[in-house]
């Protein structure tokens, strides 16, 4: 029996999602026969060395800053306990969306036109004269993300508030097309999911978790050749960025079938509403099997590299 410690909660803006992921993973691992404990780095008395004592491996679902940016991974490395997911270097790279997109550009992948901007350079950019996306370059779950389809209706106060929360942000042109996400498990891709936001909204933080968006697997508006290409690309990006265990890459499919890469998440959500478990289920992998496979894979890789 493997003793697994789940790290959940934390102090980032994604704490609520992390707690939900932790609950789902805990239930799944217990059903798979593992001995499971839970710890929350957001608690004042939290000490990582103490919390991990007696456990074989850590399964972190700490979304956001301090959890998937390489900080926790470095601390776990220092203690010497194995963990599920990507290592410190890969986590740092994919969490920094600007560095990530530069790496993809060097490797020949298509990304949206973009700039790293502060409040002053935002207003000076030509990108704000057309449909655009403004988002933190170091965050997730679509928190503090603005999708502006009509620049003429841009609310200045909203923008100023976003920059009050983030000194610099990633500004990209809005690529028209069908949004898809491609989960990677181990060294292979799971089925592609098409994301259809509510008719009067976007696939933002609220609509990700309130059940208002449609998530179609298999996709309705993406042909099989494009899906195959997307799966191949997701695996290539997973390898290029040094991801471990699992990842999920978001893309846009344009009308001509071309693929624009948006981002890669090294610590995908694992709630009952999350995309990764949904794709796994379509592939015939239930949640207990998925979580157990991630644990065993991490332990095997740790042994092989020792």
Active site residues per annotation: 14, 141, 209, 248, 250, 263, 265, 269
B/e letters for 85-95, b = 16+ CB within 10 Å, e = fewer, are bbbbebbbbbb
Q: Residues 6 or more apart from 258 whose CB is under 8 A from it?
A: 110
Q: Residues 6 or more apart from 75 whose CB is under 8 A from it?
A: 48
- Token pair belonging to 90: 């890969």
Give the count of beta carbons closer than 10 Å to the beta carbon of residue 233. 19
The answer to whether 285 and 276 are in contact (CB under 8 A) is no
Give the count of beta carbons closer than 10 Å to the beta carbon of residue 214. 12
The whole-angstrom separation of Cα 246 and Cα 169 is 26
The whole-angstrom separation of Cα 52 and Cα 54 is 6
């Amino acid at each position: 029996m493997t003793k697994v410690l789940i790290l959940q909660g934390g102090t980032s803006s994604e704490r609520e999602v992390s707690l939900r992921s932790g609950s789902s993973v805990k239930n799944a691992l217990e059903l798979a026969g593992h001995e499971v404990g839970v710890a929350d780095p957001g608690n004042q008395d939290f000490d990582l060395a103490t919390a991990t004592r007696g456990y074989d491996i850590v399964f972190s679902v700490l979304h956001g800053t301090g959890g998937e940016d390489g900080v926790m991974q470095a601390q776990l490395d220092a203690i010497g306990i194995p963990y599920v997911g990507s290592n410190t270097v890969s986590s740092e790279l994919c969490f920094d969306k600007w560095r990530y997109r530069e790496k993809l550009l060097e490797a020949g992948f298509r990304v949206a036109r973009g700039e790293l901007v502060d409040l002053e350079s935002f207003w000076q950019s030509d990108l704000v004269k057309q449909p655009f996306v403004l988002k933190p370059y170091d965050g997730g779950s679509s928190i503090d993300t603005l999708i502006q389809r009509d620049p003429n209706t841009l609310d200045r106060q909203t923008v100023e508030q976003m920059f009050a929360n983030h000194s610099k942000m990633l500004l990209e042109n809005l690529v028209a097309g069908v949004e898809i996400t491609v989960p990677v498990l181990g060294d292979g891709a799971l089925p592609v999911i098409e994301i259809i936001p509510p008719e009067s909204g976007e696939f933002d933080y609220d609509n990700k978790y309130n059940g208002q968006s449609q998530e179609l697997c298999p996709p309705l508006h993406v042909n099989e050749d494009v899906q195959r290409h997307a799966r191949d690309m997701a695996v290539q990006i997973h390898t290029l960025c040094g991801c471990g265990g699992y990842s999920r890459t978001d893309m846009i499919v344009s009308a001509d079938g071309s693929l624009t890469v948006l981002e890669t998440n090294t610590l995908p959500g694992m709630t009952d509403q999350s995309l990764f478990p949904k794709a796994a289920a379509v592939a015939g992998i239930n949640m207990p099997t998925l979580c157990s496979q991630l644990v065993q894979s991490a332990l095997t890789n740790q042994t092989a590299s020792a």
